[in-house]
């Protein structure tokens, strides 16, 4: 008979056939007191691009540590050689540093309990597994998935029911016979025949009925330790006393509680940690937000122009709020108010429109120079400026952007929108072809409006080329004397200046661009008007 294959050694914890979720129930709303010296951890696996669920977990752990004056430990769970990547590891570091989520012990910082990458902690897991076996808390399991399924059917249970504890009572002779066949054993933890009850920091009291959680694998037949062992052992050895993690890991909690009980008896763990399971983040269609959903991609949000203050503010609202009537707050304010026990258990919905709206509020709160400094990389990426940082820009570029900042900052929601607003101000082109949306603003009266505007602007002196004078002159010529409504009067002028339907304030823009280019753009649109309108 063939040895048990590695990919079939972990019992599913969230399948329809598993009774864990069905028997999990919140009995009341008991929420325990936090320990005096809070130690939390953030321990992602480097298996993909950082996503909003991962960042929300990091943020809540960080906020709890900072609120309580505790310690945040950052470690990497990289024992999956197939899926883990150094690129993903570097992206996680990049994400945390960009967002300003710092940590006290762990990766790149060091600490008393290193190393902080699981791939470098193999000896700790071997030693823990050895002690668990010797103490009788774990046992060798030779059963194949096919054999387990057959036994379930023979006993009148669904074949997917899960592992049945068969190997608990194997004799040494039976084990030797399996080894003679070439089988290598997995190592399973003995689950006690009793209810497992704990008080969740977010969900209150939760009970798992006796027998609802089968004996589970902690080491594969090839000797590789699984998450079910490595995660609790690391938490124990790093003295983590508050475990804040996603709701999807709740079915594994009774396993960890039992393992912790064993680790305490073995002297590996000092205490049982408190657990808090944060709500799912839901996407469109009331489905759990997938790592593959665009809304989930942290770096896509950064590329689109979210600033860290806005994104963190919104992510904090995914399960928590600072007060019923205030959605806008700083991280300092969050730290002051945060208590994980106030996090709601109900699923949180990721609303991109609301996230963008909150980001816009934080952009408006930036100091003007800070706004410009953060905008320059986006402008450079679009080819609108000569460098990717403020200090390296030309004097003329700095002058234009400084004048433009107060016109643009209050009108953009994302830094990625700044280029569309200031591109025409940074351009020396004498004709800007209008986009489709702008062409719709060019009505039958546009030719006469442009002719009148050109004549009026040519008669303004260089000294008189100011925002107030431009406003007064063109209003007089086009609205008061020309009889055009403001929308018809200034729409074609705006299109000529920017090529866009929406742009910075018109007369301020004309002053920034200057008389020569402004007149040239009015003439350019007039010249192309017939072909543009078709």
Q: List residues forming the annotated binding site for ATP.
A: 291
Backbone angles phi, psi at 245, to 5 degrees: -150, 180
Yes or no: say if 128 and 263 are a contact pair by the CB < 8 Å rule.
Answer: yes
Tokens of 284: 């469109």
State in Å, rounded, how far the first CA of the chain is from the last one. Answer: 79
Burial 467-506 (b: 16+ CB within 10 A, else e): eeebbebbbebbeeebebeeebbbbbbbbbbbbbbebbeb
Tokens of 39: 């130690």
C-alpha radius of gyration, the chain, whole number: 32
- Sign of CA pseudo-dihedral 342, 343, 348, 351: positive
Yes or no: say if 99 and 331 are a contact pair by the CB < 8 Å rule.
Answer: no
Tokens of 130: 């050895």
Backbone angles phi, psi at 246, to 5 degrees: -75, 155
Give Cα 303 to chain centroid, integer Å: 13
Tokens of 494: 């705006």
Query: What span, in angstroms and rounded, lies between the C-alpha atoms of 283 and 350?
Result: 6
**Do the bridges between strand 281-282 and strand 348-349 make them parallel or antiparallel, or are there none, so unpaired?**
parallel
Backbone angles phi, psi at 408, to 5 degrees: -105, -35
Q: Residue 480 contacts by C-beta under 8 Å, 6 or more apart in sequence?
A: none
Clarify whether 291 is annotated catalytic.
yes
Long-range contacts (CB closer than 8 Å, 24 or more residues apart) made by 13-20: 13/251, 13/252, 13/255, 14/248, 14/251, 15/160, 17/158, 17/160, 17/161, 17/162, 18/162, 18/251, 19/209, 19/211, 19/212, 20/208, 20/212, 20/213, 20/251, 20/254
Yes or no: say if 14 and 232 are a contact pair by the CB < 8 Å rule.
Answer: no
Tokens of 236: 């124990």
Query: What span, in angstroms and rounded, lies between the C-alpha atoms of 195 and 518?
Result: 79
CB hemisphere CA count around 27 (13 angstroms) = 12
Query: What span, in angstroms and rounded, lies between the C-alpha atoms of 341 and 406?
Result: 42
Catalytic residue among 291, 308, 403, 443: 291
Q: Report how far apart, in Å, the C-alpha atoms of 54 and of each of 50, 77, 78, 321, 512 are.
A: 7, 13, 15, 19, 44
The residues annotated with a catalytic role in the active site are: 291
């Amino acid at each position: 008979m063939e040895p048990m294959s590695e990919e079939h050694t972990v019992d599913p914890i969230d399948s329809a056939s598993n009774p864990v979720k069905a028997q999990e129930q919140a009995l009341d709303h008991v929420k325990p007191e936090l320990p005096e010296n809070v130690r939390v951890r953030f321990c992602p696996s480097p298996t993909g691009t950082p996503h909003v669920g991962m960042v929300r977990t990091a943020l809540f752990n960080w906020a709890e540590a900072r609120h309580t004056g505790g310690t945040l430990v950052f470690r990497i769970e990289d024992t999956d050689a197939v899926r883990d990547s150094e690129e993903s590891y570097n992206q996680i570091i990049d994400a945390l540093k960009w967002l300003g989520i710092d940590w006290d012990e762990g990766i790149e910082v060091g600490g008393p309990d290193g190393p902080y990458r699981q791939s470098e902690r193999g000896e700790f897991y071997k030693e823990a597994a050895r002690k668990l076996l010797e103490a009788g808390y774990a046992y060798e399991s030779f059963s194949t998935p096919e054999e387990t399924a057959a036994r379930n059917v023979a006993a009148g249970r669904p074949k997917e029911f899960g592992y049945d504890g068969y190997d608990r009572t194997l004799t040494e002779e039976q084990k030797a016979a399996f080894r003679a066949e070439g089988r290598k054993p997995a190592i399973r933890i003995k689950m006690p025949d009793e209810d497992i009850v704990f008080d969740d920091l977010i969900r209150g009291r939760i009970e798992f009925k006796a027998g609802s959680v089968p004996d589970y694998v902690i080491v594969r037949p090839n000797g590789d330790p699984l998450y079910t062992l490595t995660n609790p052992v690391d938490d124990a050895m790093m003295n983590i006393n508050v475990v804040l993690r996603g709701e999807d890991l709740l079915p594994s909690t009774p396993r960890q509680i039992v393992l912790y009980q064993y680790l305490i008896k073995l002297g590996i763990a000092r205490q049982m940690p408190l657990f808090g399971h944060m709500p799912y983040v839901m996407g469109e269609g009331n489905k759990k937000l997938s790592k593959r959903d665009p809304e989930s991609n942290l770096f896509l949000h950064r590329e689109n122009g979210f600033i860290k203050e806005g994104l963190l503010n919104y992510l904090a609202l995914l399960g928590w709020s600072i007060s019923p009537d205030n959605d806008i707050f700083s991280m300092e304010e969050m730290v002051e108010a945060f208590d994980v026990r106030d996090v709601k258990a109900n699923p949180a919905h990721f609303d991109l429109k609301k996230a963008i709206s909150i980001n816009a509020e934080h952009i408006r709160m930036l100091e003007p120079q800070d706004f410009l400094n953060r905008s320059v990389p986006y402008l450079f990426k679009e080819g609108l400026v000569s460098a990717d940082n403020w200090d390296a820009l030309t004097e003329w570029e700095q002058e234009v952007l400084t004048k433009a900042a107060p016109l643009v900052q209050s009108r953009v929601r994302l830094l990625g929108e700044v280029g569309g607003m200031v591109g025409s101000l940074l351009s020396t082109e004498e004709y800007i072809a209008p986009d489709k949306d702008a062409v719709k603003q060019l009505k039958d009266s546009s030719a006469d409006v442009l002719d009148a505007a050109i004549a009026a602007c040519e008669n303004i002196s260089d000294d008189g080329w100011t925002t107030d004078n431009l406003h007064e002159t063109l209003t007089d010529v086009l609205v008061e004397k020309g009889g055009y409504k403001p929308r018809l009067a200034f729409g074609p002028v705006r299109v000529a200046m920017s090529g866009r339907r929406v742009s910075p304030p018109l007369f301020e823009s004309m002053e920034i661009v200057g008389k020569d280019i402004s007149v040239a753009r009015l003439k350019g649109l007039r010249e192309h008007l017939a072909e543009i309108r078709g």
